[in-house]
Amino acid sequence: MSKILACLDGSAVSAAVCDFAAWAGLALDAPLTLLHVLDQRRFPRPGQATPPLLVNREHLLTELAALDAQRGNLAEDQGRLLLDAAQLRVEEQQARCAGAVLQHGDLIGSLESLQEDFDLIVLGRQGEDSPPKRLIGRHLESAIRLLHRPLLVAGHLFVKPDGVLLAYDDSSSARKAVTWVANCRLFDGLACHLVTVGRDREERRVALARAADELRARGRTVTTAITDGDVELGLERYRKQHGLELVVMGAFGHSRLRHFFMGSNTRNMLEAAGSALIVVR
């Protein structure tokens, strides 16, 4: 049975994370687990405040430790309220919630330890601690690099997808993404647009046709296209022209998508995309 993990942090995108997780849970008939991680550096675990180290500052350090513990307690209470509200939201959409988990630590470390138990991880494009002008969260690029489960990255608004843009460059990760889309019930009933970026050449048409055949063999409705120009802008332009609310792509490729998730192109696509994005490793 498929299992879904939804990561929440209280930011404005948390509602969309809940809604995408609920949509995926219903499509896959899969239970959801809700996760909220309190950064241990910002919020010490209640009862585990750092003891004073200098005798001549013992009183001051004791008071500071008590304040840290109080902040940790308040953050934990707030986290539990967040999880309660999220559970109510997904259950109102008839999704099944298997549990809500509150952890102290680091988000990426928690995801690395939990990912083996889940088939899809849902997280927001921008977290609550992101600077106002930063359009993607500080954890997102790390998650894309370090996690090997498919990641569904939600924007600020949820729109139920009726079609998906599958970015394709015939790399191993792109072929893996095609196979995943072909076999995953999440895409049942969705129109698949298989799109590559580059000049219209015979080898690209052959590669697209081969990938399209795999999708059609599993009952997918497929449209293929080759678009030239800048990778992220070309994909986003095509997505808008066809009203697609979901993009799927492999994390690494061998053409101009090769460094797509290894620096500035990551931010460019995530910032330009007006849709949810699923990254397949």
Those residues whose C-beta lies under 8 Å from the C-beta of residue 153, and which sit 6 or more positions away, are: 123, 124, 125, 140, 270, 276, 277, 278, 279
pLDDT at 65: 65
Q: Is the model's pLDDT at 218 over the cut of 80?
A: yes
Binning pLDDT at 50, 70 and 90, where does residue 91 land? very high
Q: What's the DSSP call for residue 164?
A: E
Q: Rounded to two decimals, what is the model's pTM?
A: 0.85
> Percent of the chain at pLDDT above 70?
77
User: What is the distance between the alpha carbons of residues 125 and 171, in angstroms, rounded to a whole number?
Assistant: 25
pLDDT at 114: 95
Mean pLDDT over the full length of the chain: 84
Least confident of 2-11, 57-66, 157-166, 217-226: 57-66
Q: Is the model's pLDDT at 115 over the cut of 60?
A: yes
Binning pLDDT at 50, 70 and 90, where does residue 264 land? very low
> Domain 2-40+72-152: what homologous superfamily?
HUPs (3.40.50.620)
Beta carbons of 185 and 192 less than 8 angstroms apart: no
pLDDT at 173: 86
The matching CATH number, chosen from 3.30.1490.270, 2.40.37.10, 1.10.3720.10, 3.40.50.620, for 161-277 is: 3.40.50.620
Average pLDDT over residues 156-172: 92
Q: Could you tell me which of 99, 92, 109, 118 has the C-alpha nearest to residue 38?
A: 109
Q: What is the pLDDT of residues 180-214, one digit of tens each?
A: 999 999 999 999 999 998 889 999 999 999 999 99
Helix (H, G, I), strand (E, B) or coil at 102: strand
Q: Is the model's pLDDT at 86 over the cut of 90?
A: yes
Q: Is the model's pLDDT at 2 over the cut of 70?
A: yes
Q: Do domains 2-40+72-152 and 161-277 have the same CATH topology?
A: yes
Beta carbons of 26 and 141 less than 8 angstroms apart: no
Q: Is the model's pLDDT at 109 over the cut of 70?
A: yes
Beta carbons of 126 and 252 less than 8 angstroms apart: no
Binning pLDDT at 50, 70 and 90, where does residue 123 land? very high
Beta carbons of 149 and 118 less than 8 angstroms apart: yes
Beta carbons of 191 and 273 less than 8 angstroms apart: no
Q: Is the model's pLDDT at 88 over the cut of 50?
A: yes
Domain boundaries, the chain: 2-40+72-152, 161-277
> Percent of the chain at pLDDT above 90?
55
Q: Could you tell me which of 175, 130, 125, 169 has the C-alpha nearest to residue 151?
A: 125
pLDDT at 63: 66
User: What is the distance between the alpha carbons of residues 99 and 87, in angstroms, rounded to a whole number?
Assistant: 8
H runs (alpha helix) in the chain: 14-28, 58-92, 107-114, 140-146, 172-183, 202-217, 231-241, 264-272
